[in-house]
Amino acid sequence: MPQYHQFDALVVGAGGAGLMAALHASRSVKTAVISKLYPTRSHTGTAQGGISAALGNLEEDHWEWHAYDTIKGGDFLCDQDAVEIMCREAIDAVIELEHMGLPFDRTPDGRIAQRRFGGHTNNITKKPVMRACHAADRTGHMILQTLYQQCIKQNVTFFDEFQVVDVLVENGACNGVVAVELATGEIHVFHSKATLIATGGFGKMWKVTSNAHSLTGDLPAALLRRGLPLEDMEFFQFHPTGIYKLGILLSEAARGEGAVFINGKGERFMARYMPTLKDLAPRDICSRCIYQEIREGRGIDGKDYVYLDFRPEVINRYFEEDGNPKRVDAHYLEQKLPDIIEFARVYLGVDPITQPVPIQPTAHYAMGGIPTTNDAEVLADETGRIVEGLYAAGEVACVSVHGANRLGTNSLVDLVVFGKRGGIRMAEYAKQASFRPINRDAAAKEGAAQLERIRNSNGTERPSAIRKELQALMDDKVGVYRTGAGLEEAIDHIRDLQARYQRIRIDDKGYKWNTDLMEAWELGNLLELAEVTAYSALWRQESRGAHYREDYPQRDDVNFLKHSMVWKNGRLEVRSKPVRITRYAPEERKY
Amino acid sequence: MKITLKIKRFNPEVDKKPHWESYTVEVEPTDRVLDALHEVKWTQDGTLALRRSCAHGICGSDAMRINGRNMLACKALIKDVAKDGVITVEPILGLPVVKDLIVDMEPFFAHYRAIMPYLVNNDPPPERERLQSPEDRARYDDTTKCILCACCTTSCPSFWARGEYVGPAAIVQAHRFIFDSRDQAGEERLRILSEPDGVWRCRTVFNCTEACPRGIQVTKAIGEVKEALRTGVIR
Ligand SMILES: Cc1cc2nc3c(=O)[nH]c(=O)nc-3n(C[C@H](O)[C@H](O)[C@H](O)COP(=O)(O)OP(=O)(O)OC[C@H]3O[C@@H](n4cnc5c(N)ncnc54)[C@H](O)[C@@H]3O)c2cc1C
Ligand code: SF4
Ligand code: SF4
Ligand code: FES
């Protein structure tokens, strides 16, 4: 017998977006949060560098500048009304976090400290602006902790270590979710009026990634199976500074504090490509420039990596060259970047204070995801029709505020702004709606069947082998550089892996804490999302932001200034919808 | 290199009591213990159960006892822990084992919730941020780093002896708020920590500080809380 629960509002995911939504929804309706990880384990906790808001605490700044930078950074694929909302509300959101107790670093006069970050500029001088509010290099940790603390204070209900396996979408409306309690293996049906999905990214389809093992796209895959579309899946950001081979992120905050890229010839090569912003150009551009250097033989010792150099004397030399009066020393860097300095020491055995750090681009952030309105309502199609009672926010959603390439610090802004809007909107809806009837037993059975199929599958394929092959394939063919032929090969290969996935075998047939089973189930989700990612990438015959097609190296506003929406009902289908433009006309992207 | 992992196993659906199993895996010296555990799980025995997520020491999921010392498996490198090619791995002590390396964390989190782990400030919030000088901010910086991994509490002899003791992690979390100039509930937290199962159970053995993967001066923080209780002054 499945267990049954009823809540007005359900939030799936306990990262920044989910907790923000839960805090706001639970003020007025009966709310529960379901999370496969204990909340403080969520990947928001790993965010390092900062959260942007045009507070202007250290120099002139305006939310309109933040909006323009975001749109330009997104290569003009952002929906501009959404960006304006985000950048305007970012200011209050950061203040709200401070009032909740977030320990931001401080300016000498006690206000929230801000630092420079890639692509964030003074729109008049075009120079970097200090906009990223931060708590050392553990800003995400502090946001996650603070929001969770507030949830404890407010007595929010949590179902920790419950993994959602199905979303009850029927006749254009959502009535809740089906989850498995990891400790027991029991199936639970959660019946709700409003459900908000905040399950974060899905970078585990790549091998070299900054993403956690848990980021497997369970919910977007569940929605695909339920016949709903995903938006802009071809846009996945490769962050330029992952630790060589491991992919662990070294925040852009390092470059915000003055670090530079250095090639095998000892050159600060970004100055050649982007003369104004240099090392603080947006991520898509930096990642391509790194590979350009490597391809032309200027990697370190001719190999496939370059250096991120943040030795104080190097930083100061380039500050001087750039006419920046600021100077740093080892003590200052240890204060501002303690965690990433430690990562390099622990995982590479390299001390960034005295040695340059080997880095390579790492799969980092999903710009695409579940399509939503500006109030986090999930869209059913390209015409703007919504799925009643279903919401999404955070990295899993595509509003779209990040367009073709997200600027650093803008995800945390997205989480708190749209998490809050979603939480408020779902509560308003739940207050006036009534529960739609559901068939609990059928719902539970369908959810459980997905798991039983894997438990009972008696094939010969090891899920881990399939996952490894998928990750290598995605790094190789669906990475920073793409070609039509390569993407076609990738799709064929993924389908082959999907076929093999039907013949898997797992070792653990039990119910309690069966992580063997759940990992295998998650692999199925990664395979679905990999297929739609490659398929959308094949559809977009242009280069824009993070999506670079060597066979179509130009941006093509005539044919592709539009969002993709991909469905998988039997076969894949891509449709499109226009980009909403308010006041910032598309222009060539120069920095 | 080849190493042998000796893992303490317990499957509640099969076993009456825990037992040891050994696995030999091929790893790089610079790999994490977590990588080695994954190698076992993914290529030899899928039934091995453990928690993990971020794989770089930030989420706090994978505290375990490695060669007798509490560490995060994702932050312990093979070359630093292997002794003659052998690494022993067992669940952290003092919390009920659920399966293999997974323990029931609820008693740990109950202690955490008990110390009011949230900012209390009943003044109407200003229009903009509350001001805090860099010095006041620095006062509690160390304890803001805590990731609730439980390495400290489950290495503490006082906690092993008595599970009701709030434990170092909860005291660290209390410290983070008691010494935050914006907070107004310091005295209430001190009152909670002055109870018999509060801060006085700490015998200053320093296990906790050694175990903390975030390098937090746990014993020092506990000392500062004791000092505040003794003098009645928070500073
Ligand atoms: C290393 C790193 C550094 C970063 N630094 C920055 C930065 O400085 N600034 C910035 O703006 N952005 C940064 N980002 C990006 C940003 O951190 C993420 O995009 C953001 O935190 C995602 O938050 P979220 O709330 O959407 O999801 P997450 O925090 O990932 O949370 C997802 C939640 O969903 C739950 N979940 C998932 N699947 C299921 C399921 N099937 N059932 C139940 N629950 C489920 C999980 O348990 C978890 O609670 C960084 C990212 C990384 C990886
Ligand atoms: S110092 Fe106190 S809290 Fe830490 S291990 Fe020793 S007794 Fe336990
Ligand atoms: S104080 Fe250190 S060891 Fe203890 S829970 Fe926090 S991070 Fe872990
Ligand atoms: S897996 Fe996150 S701390 Fe080890």
Task: Kindly report, residue by residue over A505-522, the tens digit of the pLDDT.
Answer: 999 999 999 999 999 999
Q: Tell me which chain A residues have a C-beta less than 8 angstroms from the C-beta of B46.
A: 506-508, 516
Closest-CA residue to A137 (of A296, A226, A257, A314): A257
Q: What is the pLDDT of residue B205?
A: 82
Q: What one-character DSSP code corresponds to residue B144?
A: G
Rounded distance between C-alpha atoms, residue B64 and residue A59, angstroms: 47
Q: Tell how far the Cα of B233 is from the centroid of ligand 4, in angstroms.
A: 37
- Interior angle at CA A546, CA A63 and CA A262, nearest 5: 90
Give me the catalytic one of A283, A311, A406, A421. A283
CB A103 within 8 Å of CB A110? no
Residue whose CA lies nearest to ligand 2 atom number 5: B156
The amino acid that residue A466 corresponds to is I
Residue whose CA lies nearest to ligand 1 atom number 13: A47
Closest-CA residue to A305 (of A352, A357, A377): A357
Q: What is the pLDDT of residue A1?
A: 74
The 10 Å Cβ neighbour count of residue B21 is: 13
The amino acid that residue A26 corresponds to is S
Number of CB pairs < 8 Å for A and B?
Answer: 144
Interface contact flag, B132 A101, Cβ < 8 Å: no
pLDDT tens profile A281-323: 999 999 999 999 999 999 999 999 999 999 999 999 999 999 9
Residue whose CA lies nearest to ligand 2 atom number 6: B205
Tell whether B55 is within 8 A of chain A (Cβ).
yes
Cα radius of gyration (chain A): 23
Rounded distance between C-alpha atoms, residue A104 and residue A550, angstroms: 42
Q: Which residues neighbour A19 within 8 Å (Cβ) at sequence distance 6 or greater?
A: A33, A39, A144, A147, A148, A150, A151, A419
Longest dimension (CA), chain A: 71
Of the candidates B13, B131, B177, the beta carbon closest to that of A512 is on B13
Tell whether B118 is within 8 A of chain A (Cβ).
yes
What are B77's strand-pairing partners? B32
Interface contact flag, A510 B183, Cβ < 8 Å: no
Q: Is A256 in the pocket of ligand 1 (CB under 6 A)?
A: no
Phi, psi angle pair for A49, to nearest 5°: -70, -45
Q: Tell me which chain B residues have a C-beta less than 8 angstroms from the C-beta of A136.
A: 141
The 10 Å Cβ neighbour count of residue B227 is: 12
For residue A32, the SS3 value is: strand
Chain A nearest C-alpha distance from B229 (Å): 23
Residue whose CA lies nearest to ligand 3 atom number 5: B148
Give mean pLDDT, residues B120-129.
Answer: 96
Rounded distance between C-alpha atoms, residue B107 and residue B202, angstroms: 18
Q: What is the pLDDT of residue A151?
A: 97
CB A416 within 8 Å of CB A97? yes
- Report H helices in chain B: 33-43, 78-81, 106-114, 134-139, 157-161, 167-178, 186-193, 207-211, 218-231
Q: What is the pLDDT of residue A60?
A: 98
Closest-CA residue to A89 (of A417, A398, A460, A532): A417
Q: What is the distance in angstroms between the CA of the first residue and the CA of the last residue of chain B?
A: 52
Residue whose CA lies nearest to ligand 2 atom number 2: B202
Chain B nearest C-alpha distance from A506 (Å): 7
What are B224's strand-pairing partners? none
Q: Which atom number of ligand 3 is nearest to the Cα of residue B143?
A: 1
Burial (CB < 10 A; 0-12, 13-18, 19+), residue B231, is exposed
The 10 Å Cβ neighbour count of residue B235 is: 8
For chain A, list residues with pLDDT below 70: none
Closest-CA residue to A394 (of A579, A196, A209): A196
Q: Tell how far the Cα of B147 is from the centroid of ligand 4, in angstroms.
A: 10
Closest-CA residue to A360 (of A470, A254, A482, A209): A209
Closest-CA residue to A360 (of A215, A258, A480, A279): A480
Closest-CA residue to A517 (of A526, A508, A525, A529): A508
Q: Tell how far the Cα of A388 is from the centroid of ligand 2, in angstroms.
A: 53
Closest-CA residue to A451 (of A223, A167, A179, A227): A179
Q: Tell me which chain A residues have a C-beta less than 8 angstroms from the C-beta of B114.
A: none
Q: Is the pLDDT of residue B136 over 90?
A: yes
The reported pTM is 0.97
Task: Kindly give the pairing relationship between strand A187-197 and strand A3-12.
Answer: parallel
Could you say which residues from 157 to 216 on chain B have a Cβ atom under 8 Å away from some Cβ of chain A? 177, 180, 182-183
CB B169 within 8 Å of CB B112? yes
Of the candidates B98, B180, B183, the beta carbon closest to that of A513 is on B98
ipTM of the prediction? 0.97
Task: Kindly give the pairing relationship between strand A31-35 and strand A3-12.
Answer: parallel
Mean pLDDT of chain B: 97
Q: What is the distance in angstroms between the CA of the first residue and the CA of the last residue of chain A?
A: 60
Buried b (16+ CB within 10 A) or exposed e, A275-306: eebbbbbbbbbbbbbbbebbeeebbbeeeebb
Pocket test for ligand 2, best of B108, B158, B200, B225 (most atoms within 8 A of CB): B158
Q: Which atom number of ligand 2 is nearest to the Cα of residue B204?
A: 1
Q: Which atom number of ligand 3 is nearest to the Cα of residue B145?
A: 7
Q: Which atom number of ligand 4 is nearest to the Cα of residue B54?
A: 2
Q: Tell me which chain B residues have a C-beta less than 8 angstroms from the C-beta of A464.
A: 41-43
Q: Is B205 in the pocket of ligand 2 (CB under 6 A)?
A: yes
Q: What is the pLDDT of residue B206?
A: 85
Q: Tell how far the Cα of A141 is from the centroid of ligand 1, in angstroms.
A: 11
Q: Is B184 in the pocket of ligand 4 (CB under 6 A)?
A: no
Cα radius of gyration (chain B): 20
**Catalytic: A283?**
yes
Task: Kindly give the pairing relationship between strand B97-99 and strand B69-72.
Answer: unpaired
Q: What is the pLDDT of residue A581?
A: 97
- Interior angle at CA A155, CA A153 and CA A161, nearest 5: 110
Q: Tell me which chain A residues have a C-beta less than 8 angstroms from the C-beta of B121.
A: 99, 101
Q: Tell me which chain B residues have a C-beta less than 8 angstroms from the C-beta of A142.
A: 144
pLDDT tens profile B53-84: 999 999 999 999 999 999 999 999 999 999 99
Q: What is the pLDDT of residue B204?
A: 84
Closest-CA residue to A418 (of A132, A95, A196, A157): A196
Dig out the tokens for A370 from the structure: 């579940």
